[in-house]
Structures are given as C-alpha cells and as structure tokens.
With several copies, the nearest count.
Chain A
Amino acid sequence: MAKVPKKILNDPRNVVTEMLDGLALANDGRVERLDGKDILIRTDLPDSKVTLLIGGGSGHEPIFHGFVGQNMGDAAACGQVFAAPSPDTIMDAAMAAHRGKGILFLYGNYAGDNMNFDIAAELLEEEEGIDVRTVRVNDDVAAAPPERADDRRGIAGDIYAIKVAGGAAEECDTLDEVERIARKAVGNLRSMGVAVAAGSIPETGKLTFELADDEIEIGMGAHGEAGIAKQKIASADDVADQIMEKILDDMPLGKGDEIALMINNLGATTMMEMLIVNRRVRQILADRGTIVHRTDVGTFLTVQEMAGFSITVMKLDDELKHYLDLPARSVGLSNM
C-alpha cells in the first residue's frame, strides 16, 4: 500500500456528487439527478408502471447509476465509494420513481446493501403503504459453495439482471410478474472474476489489497474480498479454463443450451486480454455445444483501477432473451 494511486480528480471527498453530475449530463437528457441528491432518475418515466429501483455503492462505474433508462433501472440510489446507499437515499429514490404499481429493489447481495435496502423497504411499506419486493443478485460462484448460494456476492451478473428486470418492468403489468422474471434471471446467472492488481478508494488514497508482482487472485470479489486462491500469474487460456470450470460445475451447460456471455473489465485490464479470454471461453462452450446468443465484452462493473476481469454466464429461455434484447441507451449499456 505504498504508492498513492495517481488520479485526475478534484477534492476526493466530493467524488460521488461530482461524478453524478457528470453522469446525469452524459445521458443526454434521458436521466437527471434528483434535487442534488445521490439519486439518478429517468426523465421519461411513464405515468404508470412497475418501478425498478437499483443501487449500491459507487466506485464501480458504470454500474449502478450508468444503467438507468428505458428497459433498465427507473432510478438508482447511489452510495459513497464501496458503501451501500443510506435508507434515506433509497427511500427518496423509491418515492420519486414510484408510479403506483409497486417497486422492485434489485441490487447486489452485500450485508451493507441488504441492511440499508431492508430498512428502506420496511419504512416504505409501513409508512407509505408501497408494495416493495427485493431481489438480490448473488452470481459470484467463488464466494460460497452452492449450498450457501444465499451468501454469494453480486458481481457483473447485476447488469444482465438489471437489463431483464428493466425490460419486464417496462412491459409487465404487475409487480408479481416483474419479481418472478427478475428472480429467474438471477437464478440463471453465474459469474467469477480474477484480480491482477488492486483498486483504491479516492478518499483514503489506499489500495484495497496487495498482490505480489507475479501473483493473481482467482475469484476475488468486487471490493477486493478474497477469492478462491492466490496463485502465480497464468496464461489467458489457463485462467479462462479455471473460471469456466467453476461456473460450469455450478450450472452445467450442454448441447443446445443458450446463454448470454459477458466478459467484464474490473477496471484497468486491456480489451485485448478480454478478447483473448473470450476466444478461449467460446472454445470451451463450443465443445459442449452451448450456443452463445449474445456477447458483451467491455466495462460494466469496475472496482476503480483494479486490473482483472470477470466472466458472467446467464442461461436463457425465450422470456429472458426477449427482455435482455430490448433496446436501451445509457452510459453503461446500449443495445441496438
């Protein structure tokens, strides 16, 4: 934790507000900041719809606040860097985005997020009589064995979950239906990452962990939580094999199964590396006869300047495909 990471910022204590201003502006009018709060909300919200509220700690840009828009989140409640948003922020976001048909809370499964969103949900139900449902993304197969899947963290699978739930919230009439579809998406998601170098929190200026010059960590979480194993740096094919073995052990895929595949940049990794990994992943999937319906290689959930990537697989059926493929335009994701 020697060298302070070199970043081009203003006052590090203001990174979240300044970033949210910049993010709202980057959405070309489709999204705005709510009353100077740490909340982004669609400007084109229909009068009546099931509401999808997403959110979590900042520092993982473009998630969460980059995925607000049509067929994605209706609003995002944003916390400080690596810290869940407070119940106040969540409630304010929920109240502003609510359109009379109840709200689905969709976020990554972390103790801090769970507690803050739960507090907000309790208050919204008790004090405002709003129907709130919660779906937590727990796609990180490295975080816990299958029998404790509820303990798994949410990582890049969040994005596909948001995209599917966002589509459902746009088209479906009831909160029940949106919840069912979101739950199916999350149940079909598996991810795992590898870290090559650490990220840091602007306000502390400290790297969140340390890896030796020749070391990588397979299965590391989105805040530097420990993974499955620290090991010597290995080839792209080898790392892809390790990650895919673990994912496919957890969710076997066979001939004719269809999936969406995401290779996500944790921050500072080159797209060259990710594309080389994609090549290997596709060899593995082709050997099984698994069909890749859709691929997303890019930067979706980062951990500041962490180097490394994650692989996400979502098993598809016609319903999930339909919602995943609906058009979207936002800083985080655009679909044709």
Chain B
Amino acid sequence: MKELTDSQVVEMLRQVSKAVIANVDVLTDADLATGDGDHGIGMRRGFEAALEVLVPGLSVQDAFKKTGMAIMSKTGGAAGAVFGTFFRGGASAFADAQTLDAARFANFLALSAQAVSKRGGVEEGAKTMVDAVMPAARAVGAEASDDLLAVFTAAERGALEGVEASKPMIATTGKARSLGERSIGHPDPGAISVSIILGAMKSYAASL
C-alpha cells in the first residue's frame, strides 16, 4: 500500500508500542551487558504511556508527537530524551497531512535522525541509537519506492545493520562509555530498540 490513514497510523504506533513492551527482557539483557540494565523497563514505561495517548481521532502528526511526548515524560533516562525526540523531532514532516506516505516517512526519519543526534550531542560511531536511526534514514532515502511495506522493510534493514555495526564500536557516551574496550562485541540497546520500532511498522504494513 502507498499510504496509511490517520487511524491506521494510530494503530501502527500501538503495534509499535506493544512490540517494544514485549521485548522488555531483550532490552534489559542488552543494557546489562553495556549499561545499567534499565533500558527495557524504561522503554516499557514510556510505551505503556504512549498506548494511553494513542486513541482514535489523532492526526498523523499528533500521533507521532503525542507518542514522543508520552515517552519523554514517562521513560526517563537517556532513552526518554532520545526516543521522545525520535518521535517528536520528525513529526513536523506530517504537518497538515491526512496520511502517512513514503516521502513523508522518509522526511520524518531524516528529521528525527538529525534531532536525536543534536539532542544527544553525538554522531554515528558513538555506539548509540543514532547508529541505527541514521542508516535506517539512509536506507529509506535510497529505497526509491512509494510502497510503504518496501520503505518500512528498508528502514528495519538499515536499523538492523546499525545494530550489527554498533557491536565493534567503543561507546563514547551514555552509561556504556566507561566500559571502554569492554563494550566491544555488544550491540547498543537503544539501537536494538530502533530496530524493534521500525520492524513493528513493517509487520503492521505487511498485515494490511
């Protein structure tokens, strides 16, 4: 399909939230390996809050914005700031739009990538979720298709490549920073979250 209606977007973001919540243990274990072990429960808190605000009747832009605001106000920690920013930062791509289409989504991801990189003060290579968002945004940009399933598939693939790429990195920010060389070999938990979020969008599109 080529576009999602506003109510489909709300439903998609609900599916995204549920996917993150279902993966709490995966994220806990990933954060135990490189950080303090709270990424899973933090994301659960944030996306549970998102589920409460994702109600029928929201515009596309508001659906993303409110998701971001819920996450930012309930998650806490680094993840609250960066994932809140991820959903809010690119929401202007949907300003006045009745639907989500490939072009607007590409624009959303590009804007979001910029916003999180700015908020976190990091570029790619610092072993953060930015390492998943950036390649996802690039993959979507490169996917010259207007089919949403193809676009989401590319986004998830980009994110998963980012997760892989984060493994050999030495963290230079966040709680993993002082692990130094010991962070090598472990993927970044936030990057995994990005791949779960984009993967859930793909699954939703595939289910239509």
Question: Is there a direct interface between A and B, measured as CB atoms under 8 Å apart in the complex?
Answer: yes
Interface residue ranges, A against B (CB under 8 Å): 1, 57, 79-89, 110-112, 115-116, 119, 142-144, 151, 153, 201, 203-204, 206, 208-209, 221, 223-227
User: Closest chain A residue to B178 by CB distance?
Assistant: A225
Is there contact, CB below 8 Å, between A201 and B74? no
Given A112-B81, A224-B36, decide whether A57 and B178 contact each other with a Cβ distance below 8 A: no
B78 on the interface (CB 8 Å rule)? Answer: yes
| A88-B77 CB under 8 A given contacts A201-B41, A223-B36 | no
Known: A1-B32, A208-B32, A208-B37. A82 touches B178 (CB 8 A): no
Q: Judging by beta carbons under 8 Å apart, are A225 and B36 in contact?
A: yes
Q: List chain B residues, Cβ under 8 A from A203.
A: 38, 41
Q: In the bound complex, how far is the Cα of B81 from the Cα of A225, in angstroms?
A: 20
Q: Select one of A1, A112, A221, A227 contacting B76, CB under 8 A.
A: A112
Q: Are A206 and B32 in contact (CB under 8 A)?
A: yes
In the complex, the number of residue pairs spanning A and B with C-beta atoms less than 8 Å apart equals 112
23 CB contacts below 8 A, A to B, read A57-B77, A79-B77, A80-B41, A83-B77, A84-B76, A84-B77, A84-B81, A86-B80, A87-B81, A88-B73, A111-B120, A111-B177, A112-B174, A112-B175, A201-B37, A203-B38, A204-B28, A204-B40, A206-B32, A209-B32, A225-B175, A226-B180, A226-B182
- Determine how close the nearest CB of chain A comes to the CB of B24; give it in whole angstroms: 9
Beyond known contacts A89-B73, A204-B40: 5 more, CB 8 A cutoff: A83-B75, A86-B80, A87-B73, A225-B35, A225-B178
Complex Cα gap A86–B80 (Å): 7
In the complex, whether B201 has a CB less than 8 A from a CB of chain A is: no
Q: Which residue of A lies closest to B183 (CB)?
A: A226
Would you call B102 an interface residue if the criterion is a C-beta within 8 Å of the partner chain's C-beta atoms?
no
- Asked whether A82 and B36 contact (CB < 8 A) given A111-B174, A116-B81, the answer is yes
Question: Taking CB as reference atom, which chain A residue is nearest B174?
Answer: A111
The residues of A that contact B82 with a CB separation of less than 8 Å are 115
B192 within 8 A of A: no
Taking CB atoms and an 8 Å cut-off, the chain B residues in 59-92 that contact chain A are: 72-82
Are A86 and B40 in contact, CB atoms less than 8 angstroms apart? no
Interface of chain B residues 117 through 174 with chain A (CB within 8 A): 119-120, 173-174
